[in-house]
Chains A and B, each alone.
Chain A
């Protein structure tokens, strides 16, 4: 077995130090070592986007990163999006517009939408569709997801 590597990462503002096998993916580390099971595994080859998290402010596929590569990084997962007091405007919009069904894609979808709105505060329908094209949803046909992102954008607070 390969030598374990010690890492320190900040996840949703909390610092964690752990020893990981080099092949441990970031998503398996988050889910099974840190217990942050809000991030999901859908394909393990970078197509579906269910495992999307923010790494140092950018969305990444956590199935295509090894935890050992993230030493010193700052990670935001779906667990870090809402505050104790309130849901994030994107989450509110997703609920309001029935933008989720089984909810398995939703954490990744919300993080992708968050990045999109940070770069483009007022995206058109077409821009939303392209911006979210890295995240597969098998339930909704995306119609209500697009609506929810438009609605969240119109609040001007979805950042």
Chain B
């Protein structure tokens, strides 16, 4: 299990990285934390001729929080997200999600950008990007552009990123300050990719009806997705078991999950309904400013 030969290119800054991407295009792969790519290379399932290592690139490691958003540089290590007091305070669902990514040593090395671009349909960060309607900041030698998460994820392990483009940062739009949240998942084994993962956010208006709702799912399709049908049921509804059950049922109905050796399609559908319902109940308990 040794990788096929490759050239290791080590740009020092984003411009150098973009120039390398432009000149090598399909012949190159970007190496971030390497926690998904390197196993594939060791199995020789990926055999890039050139590997552009971002680990020496300056300026991609920033965590910025302002009133409305949280911005993470693509090379922010998952462990630093987990340890950030600002994130724990302002976007606790991100912390809850990241703690469910693999194991400490993987998170020490794994990056936010690497996980987002690898786009595993059951991974935590892409799911959260979808749930929070995050914005992907892409750059290439040709220029830069912003892509909404719902447009970024296009299918199984497939994204809108062009061969010469680099994800430089991601902007998570913060939910309302008092919103409740829950990120939960079920895997066969601790730290594994989820069979089904669920991210929900919930907030109430002054009349205690739901005025903010996000329901997003991972593991149930080729890419993470938001479930409009469930969110519609929630919005304007009275918080409580019945509402969450209905939202869960709507989510379960909205998906056509895949089957694999760990779970049948029907089981994933079942988990979808159950986890959405339970996550909403948990989120309700975390809504701030309740009587």
In the complex, are there CB atoms of A and B closer than 8 Å? yes
Count of CB-CB pairs between chains A and B under 8 Å: 83
For chain A residues 125-152, which have a beta carbon within 8 Å of chain B? Answer: 130-131, 133-135
Give B218 Cβ to nearest chain A Cβ, in Å.
20
User: Once the chains are docked, how many angstroms separate the CA of A21 from the CA of B2?
Assistant: 12
Q: How far is the CB of A73 from chain B (nearest CB, A)?
A: 10
Interface code B222-251, partner A: CB below 8 Å = 1, 0 otherwise?
000000000000000000000000000000
A16 located at the interface, meaning its Cβ lies under 8 Å from any Cβ of chain B in the complex: no
Q: Are B108 and A59 in contact (CB under 8 A)?
A: yes
Q: How many residues of B contact A (CB 8 A)?
A: 27
A residues 53-109 near B (Cβ < 8 Å) are 55, 58-61, 63-66, 68-69
Most buried by B among A22, A116, A135: A22
Cβ B105 vs Cβ A22 within 8 A: no
Is B208 on the interface with A (CB-CB < 8 A)?
no
Distance of A29 from chain B, by nearest CB (Å): 12
By the criterion CB–CB under 8 Å, are A116 and B104 in contact?
yes
Q: How far is the CB of A123 from chain B (nearest CB, A)?
A: 12
With A49-B103, A63-B42, A134-B103 known as contacts, the answer to whether A23 contacts B108 (CB < 8 A) is no
Judged by a CB distance under 8 angstroms, whether A19 is at the interface is no
Cβ of A122 under 8 Å from chain B: no
Is B1 interfacial (CB-CB < 8 Å)?
Answer: yes
User: Is A46 in contact with B38, judged by CB distance below 8 angstroms?
Assistant: yes
Q: How far is the CB of B113 from chain A (nearest CB, A)?
A: 16
Tell whether B34 is near chain A: CB-to-CB under 8 Å: yes
- Assuming A65-B34, A112-B104, is B109 touching A60 (CB within 8 A)? yes
A-B contact pairs, 10 of them (CB 8 A): A22-B51, A45-B42, A45-B43, A49-B103, A58-B105, A58-B109, A60-B109, A63-B42, A64-B39, A68-B8
18 further A-B contacts with Cβ under 8 Å, apart from A1-B5, A64-B38, are A2-B5, A5-B8, A45-B1, A45-B42, A46-B35, A49-B103, A49-B105, A52-B105, A58-B105, A58-B109, A61-B105, A64-B109, A65-B34, A65-B38, A115-B104, A116-B104, A130-B190, A134-B104
Contact surface of B with A, Cβ cutoff 8 Å: 1-8, 34-35, 38-39, 42-43, 51, 53, 55, 79, 102-106, 108-109, 190-191
